[in-house]
A and B are shown apart, each in its own frame.
Chain A
Amino acid sequence: MSDIVRYEAKEKDIVIIIDRDLCKGCDICVKVCKPEILRLVDAPDKWEGAIVEITNPDECTFCRLCELQCPDFAIRVLRKEDEDKITIGGAQKTAAEQ
């Protein structure tokens, strides 16, 4: 099972989904986000020991830059009704098995 975290905006029709098994903590998404609502936090059990999280999904402008610039297919920024239209969850294998 993939380690997926959903961040649902309350006021807006936006859901941001992070696949924590795919994020390598490169920091690119954090830098491209204009409202600065992404940040890296420690995750010693993950690839690079750091992983992205969303601080306030309601400030998201739906520019989707974080998704487009993420090299690791780890972030999706979606309309809520689109969530079940796409595949979520990449790593079915753990890093150790790869």
Chain B
Amino acid sequence: MAKAPVDYLYYMRAEKLPHMWCPGCGVGVLVKAIIAAIDDMGWDKNDIAFVSGIGCTSRAPGYMDMNTLHTTHGRALTFATGIKMAQPTKHVIVISGDGDATAIGGNHFIHACRRNIDITLIVNNNNIYGMTGGQFSPTTPYGARAATTPYGNIDPAFDLVELAKGAGATYVARGSVDNGRMLQKFVRGGLNHHGFSVIEALTNCHTQFGRRNKMADPIKMIEWISSRVVSNTKAKKMTPEELKGKILTGVMHTDTERPEYCDEYAHLVEWVQSKKAK
């Protein structure tokens, strides 16, 4: 028997809709994929903490009918870490913008990866600071226009997947907004993974990024994203020339060997207490 369709609104504070995002904004597609992934997991919404920082993306928790926390810019992972360590059997999901996660929150990002704590981080990478009016972020492409790069961006961009891998995340995937099903699959992979998982979603902020880069409407910008991405399976059959300038999508890294942080801490407590009892 086919699985019943996802009841999105069951997981949401439906009375808060319509949401505040611009018409066509990629965050909505991503949130939908996250809900579908949570539904796949069959988790009780009472057992989920949904945490964010500050930004357009970070308004997502307000719409979710869960234990929700809208924290400070860049620092959602720190609050999430406290929640997870206080209640290790519960599920903690963090959603973050690219500026949120990798500029002001860059330090927290790499350290959460390093600890390999069982939290799923979903980064909505729209290549720009959406909420504050389109300033460039650490993922704005070279040469792109932003409110603070009127002559084109000279800052090199982060590759979030490499950053997460290098810092020790044990599940790293990248999807794009033009394929909601794929996003759902990667988020589910992250939720299912025991350890720190990072899912980067390439999405459209046509309002702040697109408008300044000749893609003011959502469809144009989604098409631009589509033209830039190649799945890692397809990439295997492509030549280096064909792959030039392309961004790979797919599950980019998994590691099930590294110990998870809550487990490590629990072992430590057990050991200390058994020693004390003797």
Query: B residues within 8 A CB of A31?
Result: 219
User: B251 interface residue, CB < 8 Å from A?
Assistant: no
Among A24, A25, A73, A88, find the residue whose CB has the most chain B CB atoms closer than 10 A. A73
Q: Of the listed stretches A4-12, A53-61, A64-72, name the one at the interface; the rest are far from the partner chain.
A: A64-72
Within the assembled complex, what's the spacing in Å between the Cα atoms of A14 and B80? 41
Query: B residues within 8 A CB of A26?
Result: 23-24, 218
Nearest A residue to B35 via CB reads A73
A73 touches B219 (CB 8 A): no
Main SS class of interface, B: helix
Within the assembled complex, what's the spacing in Å between the Cα atoms of A74 and B101? 29
Within the assembled complex, what's the spacing in Å between the Cα atoms of A68 and B36? 10
A47 touches B15 (CB 8 A): no
B18 touches A24 (CB 8 A): yes
Nearest A residue to B218 via CB reads A26
Query: B residues within 8 A CB of A91?
Result: 14-15, 17-18
Query: Would you give the 0/1 interface string for B151-181, flagging 1 where the beta carbon is closer than 8 Å to chain A?
Result: 0000000000000000000000000001011
Query: A residues within 8 A CB of B22?
Result: 24
Q: Of the listed stretches B2-10, B46-54, B107-115, B186-194, name the one at the interface; the rest are far from the partner chain.
A: B2-10
Within the assembled complex, what's the spacing in Å between the Cα atoms of A25 and B218? 11
Within the assembled complex, what's the spacing in Å between the Cα atoms of A59 and B71? 46
- Count of interface residues, chain A, beta-carbon cutoff 8 Å: 31
User: B69 interface residue, CB < 8 Å from A?
Assistant: no
User: B214 interface residue, CB < 8 Å from A?
Assistant: no
- From 36 to 85 in chain A, residues with beta carbon under 8 angstroms from any chain B beta carbon are 47-48, 68-73, 76, 78-79, 82, 85
A87 touches B26 (CB 8 A): no
Within the assembled complex, what's the spacing in Å between the Cα atoms of A25 and B17? 15
Among A70, A72, A91, find the residue whose CB has the most chain B CB atoms closer than 10 A. A72
Query: Would you give the 0/1 interface string for B195-225, flagging 1 where the beta carbon is closer than 8 Å to chain A?
Result: 0000000000000000000000111001000
A85 is contacted by which of B7, B14, B23, B33 (Cβ under 8 Å)? B7
Main SS class of interface, A: loop
User: B66 interface residue, CB < 8 Å from A?
Assistant: no
Nearest A residue to B29 via CB reads A71
- Count of interface residues, chain B, beta-carbon cutoff 8 Å: 33
Within the assembled complex, what's the spacing in Å between the Cα atoms of A42 and B146? 33
Within the assembled complex, what's the spacing in Å between the Cα atoms of A91 and B10? 13
Within the assembled complex, what's the spacing in Å between the Cα atoms of A71 and B32? 7
Query: B residues within 8 A CB of A70?
Result: 28-29, 32
Within the assembled complex, what's the spacing in Å between the Cα atoms of A91 and B18? 6
A71 is contacted by which of B6, B9, B26, B217 (Cβ under 8 Å)? B26
- If the complex has contacts A22-B17, A27-B219, are A87 and B7 also in contact, measured as CB distance less than 8 A? yes
User: B122 interface residue, CB < 8 Å from A?
Assistant: no
Query: A-side interface residues toward B, CB under 8 Å?
Result: 21-22, 24-28, 31, 47-48, 68-73, 76, 78-79, 82, 85-93, 95, 98
Apart from A31-B219, A71-B21, A91-B15, 19 more pairs, CB < 8 Å: A22-B18, A24-B23, A28-B218, A68-B32, A68-B184, A69-B29, A71-B24, A71-B29, A72-B17, A72-B19, A73-B32, A78-B5, A86-B7, A90-B14, A90-B15, A90-B17, A92-B15, A95-B18, A98-B18
A to B CB contacts below 8 Å, 5 in the list: A27-B24, A68-B181, A71-B32, A73-B12, A90-B15
